[in-house]
Amino acid sequence: MATAQHDGLLQKAQRLEEQALRELKALSNAQLCEEFRVKYLGRKGQLAQLLDELKTLPPERRAEAGRALNALKETLTTELERRLDSFAHAEREARLRAEALDITLPGRRQKLGSLHLITQVTKELEDIFVRLGFEVVTGPEVETDYYNFEALNIPKDHPARDDWDSFYLDGFEDLLLRTHTSPAQVRVMQQRRPPVKVVVPGKCFRRDATDATHSMVFHQIEMLWVDKGISFAHLKGTIFAFIEEFYGKGFEARFVGDYFPFTEPSLQVHVRRKGSELRTHHGGRWLEILGAGMVDPAVLQEVDYDPEEYTGFALGLGVERMAMLKYGVDDIRTFYQNDMRFLEAF
Ligand code: FA5
């Protein structure tokens, strides 16, 4: 009897194993594996029922049957884990396939900005001046009346102030938006002893009526060279050198007498495209691009430079004007209208 019971239990175990392994093979996902685990390996599962039956065996048979059932448990557990692993593996593979980059797709082009033409021209001019031995420095856009006018030999009631009709800051009688970059001359000379050889690029502001060649906000580059023995020849040589470097051989320049309270003598420089006198746009007409002159002794004295010992020249050029001529832009307002077709052309 006991032997029959024992053999019956082993047979049941055998059948359970066969059935379970068949079912396991047919499972199609991890969720079904969990159901399988509950059904066969759970606390009230089929294997647990067989283990319960162990109690009914005589003690000397239990050990062997127990080992067989443990081996069965081991087999089912291992096979179940293997199955779960294979689902996890398949799922990982599928995810990787879905996430795979198609490196044969054409890339998306990045929209890159570019420098505004006025910035490009400023940098180009700065590079030329650096090659000529000048250092690039800056000055404030909000200036005091002293630096913008007084120190440049333009006292309060001087008629030359009319040439630089100014924007004053509300509530500050003494503060204005600089009308030119010349105040930076005084600031630099106050801070250094000669030789001084600098250029100062920056924005300027004037209550000028806006037209094709005038804007209320525009850019200048100031140049100042003070040392022993600086003469008009230095001024002339430097101006012709950078104009030729910037425009190439296709342009010509002329000097025209002018007046500035802070230089003596003073002049303007006009430039035009060679051989295009009959053309009506600015490429054909003379265009004033800069004012210049030998630094007035009164300005040197103001910064405690001895005019007997030191001389110098200065100039202030209009960046927009220089660009207009080079690139055939007829109207200064074009620079500020942000028309992408115009901006992208440069
Ligand atoms: C001056 O501003 C003097 N500070 C230049 C100077 C410096 C003379 C050092 C002597 C020594 P002027 O006002 O002429 O000068 O302006 C110089 C240049 O700035 C002009 O030739 C022109 O190219 C440009 N400019 C002047 N006003 C405007 C404006 N409203 N819009 C655009 N460009 C302008």
Which conformational region is residue 211 in: left (phi greater than 0), alpha (psi within -120 to 50 degrees), or beta?
A: beta
Residues 241 and 329 in one domain: yes
pLDDT per residue as tens digits for the range 192-245: 999 999 999 999 999 988 899 999 999 999 999 999 999 999 999 999 999 999
pLDDT per residue as tens digits for the range 11-70: 999 999 999 999 999 989 889 999 999 999 999 999 999 999 988 888 888 888 999 999
Going by C-alpha positions, the residue among 320, 313, 323, 324 that lies closest to residue 291 is 313
Domain boundary among 99, 134, 158: 99
Cβ neighbours for 329, distance < 8 A, ≥ 6 positions apart: 282, 323, 335
Q: Based on the number of CB atoms within 10 Å of its own CB, is 288 exposed (0-12), middle (13-18) or buried (19 or more)? A: middle
SS (H, E, C) 30-51: HHHHHHHHHHHHCCCCHHHHHH
- Asked whether residue 334 is domain-assigned, the answer is yes
Distance 139 CA to ligand 1 centre (A): 16
- Compute the distance between CA of residue 322 and CA of residue 243 in angstroms, rounded to an integer: 9
- The answer to whether residue 113 scores a pLDDT higher than 80 is yes
Residues 53 and 168 in one domain: no
- Compute the distance between CA of residue 152 and CA of residue 302 in angstroms, rounded to an integer: 9
- Asked whether residue 111 is domain-assigned, the answer is no
Q: In terms of residue numbers, what domain contains 279?
A: 117-344
- Asked whether residue 23 is domain-assigned, the answer is yes
Q: What is the CATH number of the domain that holds 245?
A: 3.30.930.10
- Asked whether residue 107 is domain-assigned, the answer is no
Residues 95 and 192 in one domain: no
Judge whether 80 and 34 are in contact, CB under 8 Å: no
Residues 213 and 336 in one domain: yes
Residues 158 and 252 in one domain: yes
Closest ligand 1 atom, residue 215 Cα: 31
118, 162, 180: residue to mutate for ligand 1 pocket, most atoms within 8 A of CB = 180
Work out how many domains the chain is built from and give that number: 2
- Compute the distance between CA of residue 100 and CA of residue 94 in angstroms, rounded to an integer: 10
205, 271, 321, 331: residue to mutate for ligand 1 pocket, most atoms within 8 A of CB = 321
Tokens at residue 102, please?
């198609």
Domain boundary among 99, 131, 164: 99
Residues 157 and 201 in one domain: yes
- Compute the distance between CA of residue 128 and CA of residue 305 in angstroms, rounded to an integer: 28
Distance 21 CA to ligand 1 centre (A): 96
- Asked whether residue 223 is domain-assigned, the answer is yes
Amino acid 283: pLDDT: 45
Residues 174 and 31 in one domain: no
